[in-house]
Amino acid sequence: MLITIEGIDGSGKSSLVEGLKGRLSDLSPLYTREPGATWVGDQVRRAIAEQVDPVTEALLFAADHAAHLATLVAPAIREGRIVISDRYTDSRYAYQSVMLDGVLPEPLAWLRAVHAGWTIPPDCTFLLVLPVEAAMARLPAHRTREHFEEGEVLSRVQRQYLALAEEEPSRFVVIDALGEKEEICRFVADEIRTLSGSRRPRHRS
Ligand code: TYD
Residuewise pLDDT in 10s, the chain (205 residues) = 999 999 999 999 999 999 999 999 999 999 999 998 888 999 899 988 888 899 999 999 999 999 999 999 999 999 999 999 999 999 999 999 999 999 999 999 999 999 999 999 999 999 999 999 999 999 887 666 677 878 999 999 999 999 999 999 999 999 999 999 999 999 999 999 999 985 444 444 4
Q: Residue 202 domain-assigned?
A: no
- DSSP conformation letters of 106-145: -HHHHHHHHHTTT----SEEEEEE--HHHHHHHS-TTSPP
Q: Residue 203 domain-assigned?
A: no
Asked whether the beta carbons of 135 and 11 are under 8 A apart, the reply is yes
Cβ 138 under 6 angstroms from ligand 1: no
- Residue in 55, 68, 95 to alter for ligand 1 test, most ligand atoms within 8 A of Cβ: 95
Supply the pLDDT for residue 198.
Answer: 52
Q: Residue 81 domain-assigned?
A: yes
CATH of the domain at 51: 3.40.50.300
- Give the Å distance between the CA of 205 and the centre of ligand 1: 42
- Asked, as a colleague might, if the bond just before 29 is cis with ω within 30 of 0, I would say no
Q: Whole domain around residue 112: which residue ranges?
A: 2-196
Q: What is the pTM of this model?
A: 0.93
Cβ 96 under 6 angstroms from ligand 1: yes
Q: Residue 205 domain-assigned?
A: no
Which residues pair with residue 103 across a beta bridge? none
Asked whether the beta carbons of 35 and 41 are under 8 A apart, the reply is yes
Instruction: Report the number of distinct structural domains present in the chain.
Output: 1
Q: Residue 128 domain-assigned?
A: yes
Q: Residue 160 domain-assigned?
A: yes
Q: Residue 18 domain-assigned?
A: yes
Supply the pLDDT for residue 142.
Answer: 63
Q: Residue 172 domain-assigned?
A: yes
* 3-class DSSP state of 9: coil
